[in-house]
Amino acid sequence: MMTLSGAGRRRWGAVAGVLTGSRSTLIGFVLVGAHLVLALAAPVLAPYSPIVNNGALPIDAPSLAHWAGTDQLGRDVLSRTLYGGRLALTDTALATIGVIIVGTAVGCLAAYWRGWFDEVVMRIVDAVLSVPTILALLVVVTVAGSGTWVLMLAVTTVYAPAVARVVRAAALEVIPLDYVTAARARGERAFAVLSREVLPNILDVVLVETAMRASWVVLLISSLSFLGFGADPPSPDWGLMVAENRSMLAVAPWASLAPIIALATLVIGLNLAADGLAKSLGVDRMRGGVA
Amino acid sequence: MTTPLLAVDDLSISFGANGRTHHIVSNVSLRLGAGQTLGIVGESGCGKSTLAGALLGRLPGGTEVNDGRVSVAGHDLFRSSARQLRALRGGTVALVPQNAGHALTPTMRVGRQMREVLTLHRDLSGTAADEEAARLFAQVRMPQPEMLLTRYPHELSGGQQQRVGIALALAGAPRLLVLDEPTTGLDVVTQAGVLDLLATLRAELGLAMILVSHDLGVIASTCDRVAVMYAGRIVETGPTTRLYDAPGHPYTRALLASVPSIAEPGLPADLPGSPPKPGGTVTGCAFAERCPVVQAQCRTGDAPPLRAIDDDTRAACLRAEEVRDLPPERRPVHLRPEYAEQSTLVSLRGVEIRYRSGGPPTVADLDLDIRRGETLALVGESGSGKSTVAWTIAGLRAPSAGTVTFAGTDDLTRLVGARPASLRRRIQTVFQNADTALNPRRLVREAVGRPLRLFRLAGRNDVAARTDALFTDVGLDPSYQHRLPAQLSGGQRQRVGIARALAAEPDLVLADEVVSALDVSVQAAVLRLLDRVRTEHDSTYLFISHDLAVVRSIADRVAVLYLGRLCEIGDVADVFAGPSHPYTRLLLGSVLDPRPPASDMDGHAASRPVEEPESAPPAAGCPFQRRCPHAIEGLCDTATPPWRQTDTTHRIRCHLDLEDLARA
């Protein structure tokens, strides 16, 4: 799992080298970076409001005034897509952080305590993983209603178990080592042992997991909106945009195509970045038991 | 003149980095005839393994031969075609790799791996190959060789894997066997068995052998001649016994002095410093920095040449003749505490420890006192439960029965979480493997500073000063504290581990095989350090080891465990004077002393082990009955043996009485 155990500073230097060394990794980070910049600058870059209808100009093909055309309500597709990036990135970041924090905490504790806690947690993980993701998510959303925080909760419920399993496997390799035993023999508390001794040594696994999960979360949130369980109109959510405009795919393909391209580039970018990270940090994702 | 089996002429191997050439092996010349044995010895990083690989025409990536040649049976390996090389490797010269467990393919049955070699080199297949494989496994004395063919490597013990590795090397009927650290990592008893096998094979097959090891004892017990390597050069070569008796190179002398001996008490001499890294520019003798008899002219010009100092010995030292005549090093013996006045620090009574409740006990019926101020050694093979006892005292594993008390009052059967901080502070552990004992992502300063903060032994402003003092105390420059463990050598890491234990100002230090993974020279230095800080800090040690020679040098008392049962205990001098429990005798016979005491060896040879250690004790009677050469049927397998008290501090648990034990 850990091939790099050398000096910290040299290590990060080496990581930076690998990130820019492989072309696909570089493309991944450039794609994600571009999405971040565009989302941040959306209010400056967007030529029109993403919400306000323009009855005079529905379903207008791309032109100089509307680079990506307009949708059935006459809204500028480019502006909606740019603003949609803000939504997608914020939701993804929040949900991913939730997934990683819960998954890492549960995985570490299960590996540290073992016994009944580990047993119970892992059976719950098995149960959640055996239910199709989107189905599980629909159940949560149907029961708890919609809204950003419900969505975060739903995504965490669905993805944290997989993270917990990967982190647990990584922690189990570190915990029997003597430096962890030394900390336990000193009488350090579980939190101190895990945060001081274990976590720094499985950080590479957690980082790769974060990048990988983020790409899944983007897709999941968009899928929910597409199905009508996520964002509500007139929000410029990419999934929602595709759903709204799909009936006119033959007449006005631009209205669906722009959010699809945005979504695809973000997911591909995150995937390439995750793979690059995994390679440069020496994390074997197959052996890590990625579900 | 006939062609020697192996001829290495003026061989130099180097790697290039940063536009410079770094020599790993320099000007090495060797000759080996059929049936001869040569040991190559030196500390880690002296180029031994690179040389061993070169003998099969194999170099580590990025290195190249600059000069010289390696000829096997007249063929120059580095000028042979791939086809010739393939025929030579395995067919004429074969390698037994360092860790046979890793060298075997885990997903392939052992028999199939053997058949591959037989098909390639001997053109055998089908039943003929199977029969030959079984014959080879029988030759390395594996029980039930036919059964073995269908086994996977993980189903074998470490010693068995090593035997399979040897059998694979023998499959091509080679004339020369190159063994790279063949017994490193094996238990003493298993090691003795493997070395015994090598001696037999040599006699039966007339094999020539080159044995690479850092262990002078291993070389002494197997090789007629020895070559000592330092910084990529051979610095001394000659017949093993003569070289060990009167070394001509100060490095050989220092290595020998650093080996603890079961024959004489006292701490081995340490050899400060470490071999130069390849690539440093050295003028004169590479050993000059560490040499006790260095002169001005040693530091100038080229490396001193290897020159004859008598008809059969050559040394690369300007003062070799003087060095040979130096009297042997005196080993300082530390003053043993007087037990009569000692109080008991830890007391174990009727202790039983199980790994699973309901499972067989790993440790049973253990009564043991650790007295304040002493070093008590706990000795046994792996699986004897010695580390388990330490873990129980450290509060990492609760005993399933019995009492453990500290200083007469504190209950040690509680796990560490249930112990008050003051008690936790007073018991500290130093771990076997310095590589894993320190967090690779944290500076070593944090490892040493942590106990100071946790136990509030130093105020916020004093931590740095205390840490400095602790580093100095264990012989490390305080500037080292800003490094990560990976930036330290094994010996330095072990010193940090000791500093971390000392930081808590403990009363009891649990030292679990702390020197067994270290080079001999470093081992000697760490043993001296442990003994010094024990005295200075007035603490008590529980010293766990499988190496009786190390135990003899540092311990005050010895307790011998077999499968979790105590079989012998007493003061070091009394236990080593005998009589001994049959198991202790087995352990003593397995210790490889580079200079075996002339009189003693015959007695030990009789109890040479023939089988692997057991994993579970018999249902009743003496735990050692199945391996004991003196077991009495109807007694040893039914009744628990009684304790026999000698007229000294020494007790033995055996059905034989003391006279019989002395005679046995």
CA distance B244 to chain A (A): 37
At residue A291, the pLDDT reads 36
Instruction: Give residue-wise pLDDT tens across range B43-100.
Output: 887 888 889 989 988 888 888 888 888 999 888 988 888 888 888 888 899 999 887 7
Task: Give the count of alpha carbons within 13 A of B486, CB side only.
Answer: 12
Same domain, B202 and B56: yes
Name the CA dihedral angle for B103, B109, B114, B115, rounded to a multiple of 10 degrees.
-140
Q: Is B428 on the interface with A (CB under 8 A)?
A: yes
Domain extent for A228: 13-49+77-281
Report yes or no on A143 lying in a domain. yes
Task: Name the band, by pLDDT with cuts 50, 70 and 90, for residue A15.
Answer: low
Mean pLDDT of A184-204: 91
Q: Are residues B475 and B361 in the same domain?
A: yes
Give the per-residue pLDDT at A13.
Answer: 66
Please tell me if residue A196 touches chain B, with a CB cutoff of 8 Å: yes
Q: Is residue A250 part of a domain?
A: yes
Say whether B162 sits in a helix, a strand or coil. helix
- Contact (Cβ atoms closer than 8 angstroms) between residue A49 and residue A61: no
What average pLDDT does range B316-333 have in this prediction? 82
Tell me what the mean pLDDT of segment A192-217 comes to: 91
Question: Looking at beta carbons, which residues of chain A come within 8 Å of B432?
Answer: 178
Least confident of A93-107, B273-287, B514-528: B273-287
Q: What is the pLDDT of residue A69?
A: 83
B486 interfaces chain A, CB cutoff of 8 Å:
yes
Asked if residue B513 belongs to a domain, the reply is yes
Domain count across chain A = 1
Structure token pair of residue B13: 């191997």
Would the pLDDT of A129 be above 60? yes
Please report whether residue B130 resides in a domain. no
Give residue-wise pLDDT tens across range B158-206.
Answer: 888 888 999 999 998 899 999 988 888 788 888 888 888 898 899 888 8
What CATH number does residue B195 fall under? 3.40.50.300
What pLDDT does residue A17 have? 67
Is A5 within 8 Å of B486 when comparing Cβ atoms? yes
Which residues of A are less than 8 Å from B438 in CB distance? 179
Confidence of residue A3 (pLDDT cuts 50, 70, 90): very low
The answer to whether B394 contacts A197, with C-beta atoms less than 8 Å apart, is: no
Beta bridge mates, B510 = B429, B542
- Determine which helix (DSSP H) or strand (DSSP E) holds B30, and give its type and residue range: strand B20-32
Asked if residue A72 is part of any domain, the answer here is no
Query: pLDDT band at B488, cuts 50/70/90?
Result: confident
Flag if B454 and A186 touch (Cβ within 8 Å).
Answer: yes
Looking at the predicted structure, is the pLDDT value of residue B602 above 60?
no
- Plot region of B392 (φ>0 → left; ψ -120 to 50 → alpha; else → beta): alpha
Q: Looking at the predicted structure, is the pLDDT value of residue B603 above 60?
A: no
Domain CATH for A232: 1.10.3720.10
Tell me how many residue pairs between chain A and chain B have CB atoms under 8 A apart.
Answer: 61
Whether B146 is covered by a domain: the verdict is no
Q: Is B27 on the interface with A (CB under 8 A)?
A: no
The answer on B613 and B482 residing in a single domain is no
Write the DSSP string, B172-231. Answer: T--SEEEEESTTTTS-HHHHHHHHHHHHHHHHHH--EEEEEES-HHHHHHH-SEEEEEET
Extended beta strands in B449-539, E state: 508-512
The predicted model gives A28-36 an average pLDDT of 92
- Predicted confidence band at B632 (pLDDT cuts at 50, 70, 90)? confident
Nearest residue to B547 via CA among B188, B287, B209: B188
Q: Is residue A4 part of a domain?
A: no
Residue B483: its H or E element: none
Q: In A, which residues are within 8 Å of B428 by CB distance? A: 185
- Per-residue pLDDT at A287: 42
Spell out which residues of chain A touch residue B427, defining contact as CB-CB under 8 Å: 185
Predicted confidence at residue A32, as pLDDT, reads: 92
Return the residue matching tokens 């009789």: B606
**Least confident window among A10-19, B214-223, B235-244, B269-278:** A10-19
The residue with tokens 């023939």 is B610
Residue whose entry in the numeric block shows the structure tokens 């094994």: B490
Residues of chain B with pLDDT > 90: what percent?
29
Which of the listed residues B213, B232, B249 is the one where a domain comes to its end?
A: B249
pLDDT band at B606 (very low <50, low <70, confident <90, very high): very low
CA distance B433 to B307: 40
How far is the CA of A15 from the CAs of A18, A198, A280, B441, B442, in angstroms?
5, 21, 6, 15, 18
Per-residue burial over B507-519, b = 16 or more CB atoms within 10 Å of its CB, e = otherwise: bbbbbbbbbebbb
pLDDT at residue A178 is higher than 50:
yes
pLDDT band at B338 (very low <50, low <70, confident <90, very high): low
Using an 8 Å Cβ cutoff, are B403 and B397 in contact? no
DSSP alpha helix (H) spans, B7-69: 48-54
Domain count, chain B: 3
Residues 492..551 of B with a Cβ closer than 8 Å to A: which? Answer: 500, 504
Q: Is residue A35 part of a domain?
A: yes
Domain boundary among B228, B249, B270: B249
Q: How many CB atoms lie within 10 A of CB A190?
A: 14
Tell me if A286 is assigned to some domain. no
Query: Quick check: is B567 in a domain?
Result: no
Helix/strand/coil for B69: strand
Is B605 in the same domain as B477?
A: no
pLDDT tens-digit series, residues B251-271: 999 998 888 888 778 888 888
- Which residue is associated with the tokens 């549960």? A106
Average pLDDT over residues A224-242: 86
Give the whole-angstrom CA distance, residue B227 versus residue B240. Answer: 9
- Asked if B439 lies within 8 A of A179 by C-beta distance, the reply is yes
pLDDT-derived band at A4, boundaries 50, 70, 90: very low
d(CA B371, CA B343): 6
Sheet containing strand B508-512, strands side by side: B427-430, B508-512, B540-545, B375-379, B557-562, B565-571, B651-653, B643-645
In DSSP notation, B108-133 reads: S-HHHHHHHHHHHHH---HHHHHHHH
Q: Flag whether B296 is in a domain.
A: no
The pLDDT, as a whole number, for residue B276 is 80
**CB pair distance less than 8 Å for B439 and A201:** yes
ipTM of the complex: 0.80
> Taking residues B518-541, what's their average pLDDT?
88
If contacts are CB pairs under 8 Å, which of residues 617-656 in chain B contact chain A? none
Q: Which has the higher per-residue pLDDT, B100 or B471? A: B471
Which residue in A7, A182, A184 is closest to B437 by CB distance?
Answer: A182
Residue B205 and residue B344 share a domain: no
Nearest Cα residue to A85 out of A262, A247, A275, A286: A262
- Among residues B199, B217, B249, which one ends one of the domains? B249
Residue B170 — φ and ψ, nearest 5°? -80, -15
Tens digit of each residue's pLDDT (9 = 90 or more) over B381-439? 887 889 999 999 999 999 999 999 998 888 999 999 899 999 999 999 998 887 889 99
- What lies within 8 Å, CB to CB, of B529 at 6+ separation is B474, B475, B495, B498
Q: Are B555 and B589 within one domain?
A: no
Taking only the tens place, the pLDDT of each residue in B541-588 is 999 998 888 999 899 999 999 989 999 999 988 898 878 899 998 888
Confidence at B147, pLDDT banded by 50, 70, 90: confident
- Identify the domain containing residue B205 by its residue range: 6-92+174-249
**B506 and B622 fall within a common domain:** no
Q: Quick: pLDDT tens for A39-74.
A: 999 888 888 888 888 777 777 788 888 888 888 888
Question: B-contacting residues of A 160-189, CB under 8 Å?
Answer: 177-179, 181-182, 184-188
- If asked whether residues B354 and B232 sit together in one domain, one would say no
Q: What is the 3-state secondary structure (H, E, C) of B396-411?
A: CCCCCEEEEEECCCEE
pLDDT at residue number B334: 63
Question: Within 10 Å of residue B478's Cβ, how many Cβ atoms?
Answer: 15
Chain B, nearest residue to A186 by Cα? B424
Q: Is the pLDDT of residue A10 over 80?
A: no
Q: Is residue B610 over pLDDT 70?
A: no
> Is residue B394 domain-shared with residue B485, that is, in the same domain?
yes
Q: Which residue has the tokens 């105390």?
A: B473
For residues B582 and B485, state if they share a domain. no
Average pLDDT, chain B: 86
- If asked whether residues B454 and B594 sit together in one domain, one would say no
Statement to judge: residues B482 and B362 lie in one domain = yes
> Rounded to an integer, what distance in angstroms lies between the CA atom of residue A235 and that of residue B439?
49
* C-alpha distance from A192 to closest chain B C-alpha (Å): 11
What letter represents residue B72's amino acid?
Answer: V
CA B518 centroid distance within chain: 8
Query: Band of the pLDDT at B325, cuts 50, 70, 90?
Result: confident
Alpha carbon of B305 to those of B27, B48, B263, B324, B484: distances in Å?
Answer: 10, 19, 35, 17, 39
Asked if B482 reaches chain A (Cβ–Cβ under 8 Å), the answer is: no
Q: Which residues of B touch A182 (CB under 8 A)?
A: 429, 431, 437, 500
- Reply yes or no on whether the pLDDT at A121 is more than 80: yes
Mutate to test the interface with B, among A178, A188, A196, A202 (most CBs of B within 10 A): A178
Mean pLDDT of B296-302: 85
Using N-to-C axis directions, what is the helix angle for B250-257 and B520-537, rounded to 10°? Answer: 50
